[in-house]
Amino acid sequence: MLHYCMEYKVCVCVCVCVCACMHVINSSV
């Protein structure tokens, strides 16, 4: 269960980072 929790947190963090990167790219264009 703990392993799943860690993977879930990493997945969410990556998704947030990607969303932020896309927002910055869209804003700079």
Position 1 pLDDT exceeds 70: no
> With a threshold of 0.85, does the pTM exceed it?
no
Q: Is the pLDDT of residue 6 over 70?
A: yes
Structure tokens given for 12: 């969410």
Give the whole-angstrom CA distance, residue 21 versus residue 2: 29
Q: Is the pLDDT of residue 2 over 80?
A: no
pLDDT of res. 20: 92
